[in-house]
Amino acid sequence: MADSERLALIHAEIDGELDGRQRAELARALLADPEVQALREDLRRVCAALDTLEDIEPPRELRQSILDALPQSTPSRARSWWSAHRRRTRCGDNRL
Amino acid sequence: MTEEDDATLVRRCREGDRTAFEQLVVRYQKPVFNAALRLLRDPEDASDVAQTTFLKVFEHLAEYNPSFKFYSWIYRIAINESLNALGARKPCEGFNGEEADAAPGPERQLEGQQTGRAIEEALMGIKPELRTVIVLRHFMHLSYQDMGEILLLPEKTVKSRLYSARQLLRDRLLQGGAI
């Protein structure tokens, strides 16, 4: 099994995405190669560390400042497809 | 009273009901703020991004296609606004680490605080597009499919970025002795 396949199995295990066959493949790879074991442990520690970062409450005034910033008029319902498309690109839909 | 789903709130917003929009703000201000905070590591910038995100949602609500998940749409706007804010930073301008570290509150234990700081620093050390997938997966707990919808990328690419991001974080955290 190629390194990239073993890596993919480790990540998929972390994400809870392994099926039975893949689980068996990973188990074999772990038994056969201590480096794979070490990498798996490292990546599990990274993910556990990420999970230690808790969500933070936004500032109390944020909600009101959002509402205060809204324009008075309600967005109009009907727009042409082209207008919507142009606005969508401005909205950054295609950026990533 | 049962909580109305996003689609109902969006429909009410489109009909001019501002209280429905307020409910969307209440529902999404925390995840939007946190996504921006993890990408920018600056609470003030994250608040600005949250405000701009909701303003754009309000202004473009008529264009939102209800056959897609509302949260995918709002998170996409939030991520793009965060990346825009990052892009607007001057090269020498870092992040406000002091404020970000103070934000979680006094309950955090010292060890956790050190690990947290190391992770935040490691996160800020990787490319924004890799940081984004970590944020979506580990802090917003989204599926590969949702991440693909938000980033407009195939799932395969999402996975590839996620794996690369984790491995880079691993290298950085190992170097710093944090794991």
DSSP letters, B42-56, are -HHHHHHHHHHHHHH
pLDDT value of position B179: 83
Instruction: Please tell me whether residues B59 and B111 are part of one structural domain.
Output: no
**Contact between B152 and A93 using a beta-carbon 8 Å cutoff:** yes
Does one domain contain both B89 and B125? no
Give the mean model confidence (pLDDT) for residues A7-16.
96
pLDDT at B110: 63
Distance between B91 CA and the closest CA of chain A, angstroms: 21
B75 shares a domain with B58: yes
Read off the pLDDT of residues A22-73 as tens digits, 9 standing for 90 and up: 999 999 999 999 999 999 999 999 999 999 899 999 999 999 999 999 998 7
Residues 50-109 in B contacting A (C-alpha not used; CB under 8 Å): 50-51, 54-56, 58-63, 76-77, 79-81, 83-84, 103-104
**CB half-sphere exposure, B76, CA atoms < 13 A:** 25
Asked if B66 and B99 sit in the same domain, the reply is yes
Task: Tell me the nearest-neighbour CA distance from B100 into chain A, angstroms.
Answer: 10
Residues B59 and B99 in one domain: yes
Predicted-complex ipTM score? 0.82
Q: Are residues B63 and B110 in the same domain?
A: no
Question: What is the model's pLDDT at position A82?
Answer: 39
Structural domain boundaries, residue B128: 106-179
CA dist B23 and B4 (Å) reads 9
Subunit contact B25:A57, Cβ cutoff 8 A: no
CA–CA min distance B35, chain A (Å): 9
Tokens of B7: 């689609």
Kindly state whether residues B67 and B120 are assigned to the same domain.
Answer: no
Together in a domain, B130 and B92: no
Q: Which residues of A touch B60 (CB under 8 A)?
A: 75, 87-88, 91
Residue B3 predicted with pLDDT over 60: yes
Last residue of a domain, one of B61, B85, B103: B103
Q: Among B103, B136, B170, give the residue marking a domain's end.
A: B103
Q: Are residues B91 and B5 in the same domain?
A: yes
Question: Quick one: CA dihedral B155, B25, B131, B108, positive or negative?
Answer: negative
Q: Does the distance separating the beta carbons of A77 and B152 come in below 8 Å?
A: no
pLDDT at B177: 87
Q: Is the pLDDT of residue B101 over 50?
A: no
Report d(CA B77, CA B24) in Å as an integer: 14
Nearest beta carbon to residue A46 from set B59, B62, B173: B173
* CA distance linking residue A89 with residue A70, whole number of Å: 21
Residue A74: exposure state from Cβ atoms within 10 A (0-12, 13-18, ≥19): middle
Mean pLDDT of chain B: 89
pLDDT band at B100; cut points 50, 70, 90: very low
Tokens at B24, concatenated: 């969307």
Residue with tokens 């939102």: B64
Rounded to whole angstroms, the Cα distance separating B133 from B154 reads 13
pLDDT band at B92 (very low <50, low <70, confident <90, very high): low
Residues B34 and B87 in one domain: yes
How many structural domains does chain B have?
Answer: 2
Q: Which CATH number goes with the domain that contains B118? A: 1.10.10.10
Burial class of residue B42 in the structure, from the number of CB atoms within 10 Å of its CB (0-12 exposed, 13-18 middle, 19+ buried): buried
Per-residue pLDDT at A94 exceeds 50: no
Residues B87 and B21 in one domain: yes
Which of B60, B77, B103 is the last residue before a domain boundary? B103
The pLDDT value recorded for residue B74 is 98
Residues B153 and B66 both lie in one domain: no
Q: Which residues of chain B make contact with A60, given a CB cutoff of 8 A?
A: none
**In the structure encoding, which two tokens stand for residue B9, read together?**
């709130």
pLDDT confidence band for B105 (50 / 70 / 90): low
Per DSSP, B143 falls in state -
